[in-house]
Amino acid sequence: MHIKSIDAIEILDSRGVPSIHTSVVLNSGHKGEAMVPSGASTGKKEAFELRDNDERFDGKGTKKAIENIKSLIQPALLGKPIEEQKELDQIMINLDGTREKKKLGANSILSVSLACTRAAANAMNLPLYDYIRILFNSKSDKGSTLSMPKPMLNIFNGGAHSNNRIDIQEFMIMPSGDVSFSEGLKNCVQVYTSLKRLLSSKGWSTNVGDEGGFAPNLDSNEEVIEYLIKAIQSANFSYGKDIFISLDCAASEFFDGRNYILNATDETFSSDGLIDYYVKLIKKFDIKSIEDPLHEDDWDGWIKLTSELNGVQIVGDDIFVTQRELLKKGIDSHAGNAILIKPNQVGTLTESLESIQYNNKAVLTNATVYFEFDKSSLTSRSLQILKSVVEALSENPSVTVTLAGHADERGTREYNLALGERRANAAKDYLMTYGVSSDRIKVLSYGKERPVDSGSNPLSWSKNRRSVTVKAN
């Protein structure tokens, strides 16, 4: 099946900002349609959004991008086979010829890329997610299993998503990994409605912010978190067991070029000062995940924060912007330990999938889980990391891994070798629980012989109590 025609129109997104709706029609009569998303707070290294910069919509119109689709992209793709997604995307990348996609606009390229994907899925009578799975596994196992993600609900808005004085952009909740997606979603919705009742009972507005979370003008980030914990408990859930809290700080939005300024509490922080603030906040409230805690160019700060927050998911959005070279830099320097994937940040579906594949390979190469002193039991954060290993192994069925257990310097050599082995076996047992065959997993222990940090203090010890997944082939 081949591309017969491509058309595009200007639409408005949920914020009333112009975007693009593209339709791709095949010679078989099948059709695919796609709309391009756009973020409120964005990384400066994202692929270029082409806007009209005229009097319409404060300059944010998309007529130029639409004209590029009709006059440049369509002629280049007519007659091309729809199932060759990588080839189609590469044609558009070459046609643009710039790294940032400034000639055609990443919004025009992505709209066509996604519409082609939907057209191919429709032509093959497949759900979109299943067709994307086939594309993703084109160089590996086409029989890999599907899994549902853990939902994260944005229930309180600050920053660029509201008009209140709260600096952190999103306060999110997420359910325990022990429940199904539907059950987890139901539980989180119950907390959302519980929060609404709680805010209303205290006389606060329950109008919502830019992304659907409540946005009353509370006094501090801490007060918001306290309200969330009360809402969780009021909904008859256990905080830290049934429901967890996650933050999207969007710190680039309150960085003035030198310092971080929290308007709610009238505080100014250096990078080190803000890191100390986060460490205290996360430990006080047992926060499980934090996104964009620092400015996108504050690489030293990201490295330091990642080192100090063992066991916490540190998500890079603006710093990585779904681009493979930035992701590689983050992995090599240990800046953050998770990535947010947004196709609009890079401009094509193919490049988005390549970033995911690269990240998964990195997971198999150096996925690390940490343990409490003299313990071999897995924490909730460890379970999240190992679940990523399970998914990566499912997508790469020929790969085997070695689990290396480690201990800190305290204790005898013999005791620590046994402790390291117990820790590696704990990780192995989890992988096997989710279907990874034992013959794909080798376990060994280095005890205290290979510390990652040679210091003799509590922080160094916490880094050395670990199990590391190493790709064997």
Residues with catalytic roles: 211, 342
Contacts of 115 (CB under 8 A, 6+ apart): 6, 22, 23, 24, 32, 33, 34
Contact (Cβ atoms closer than 8 angstroms) between residue 162 and residue 210:
yes
Contact (Cβ atoms closer than 8 angstroms) between residue 82 and residue 91:
no
Pinpoint the alpha helices (H) of 261-348. Answer: 271-285, 299-308, 324-333, 343-346
What 3-state DSSP class applies to 299?
helix
Cα separation, 124 vs 85, whole angstroms: 14
- Chain centroid offset of residue 386 CA: 16
Contact (Cβ atoms closer than 8 angstroms) between residue 25 and residue 10:
no
Residue with tokens 């990391």: 385
Q: Which DSSP string do the residues of 130-151 spell out, in sequence order?
A: HHHHHHHTTTS-TTPPP-PPPP
Residue with tokens 């504050």: 298
Q: Which two tokens stand for residue 327?
A: 């992701």
Number of H helices, E strands in the chain: 15, 15
Could you tell me the maximum CA-CA distance found in the chain, to the nearest angstrom? Answer: 74
338-339, strands of its sheet edge to edge: 153-157, 170-175, 243-248, 289-291, 313-316, 338-339
What 3-state DSSP class applies to 48?
coil
Contact (Cβ atoms closer than 8 angstroms) between residue 214 and residue 173:
no
3-state helix, strand, coil in the chain (%, to 5): 45, 20, 40
Q: Which two tokens stand for residue 422?
A: 């117990």
What 3-state DSSP class applies to 102?
coil
Nearest to 259, CA basis, from 272, 276, 278: 272
Q: Is the dihedral of CA 332, 419, 401, 317 positive or negative?
A: negative
Position 353, amino acid: L
Position 283, amino acid: K
Burial 310-325 (b: 16+ CB within 10 A, else e): bbbbbbbbbbbbbbbe
Cα separation, 67 vs 85, whole angstroms: 22
CA angle 22, 65, 134 (to 5 degrees): 45
What 3-state DSSP class applies to 216?
coil
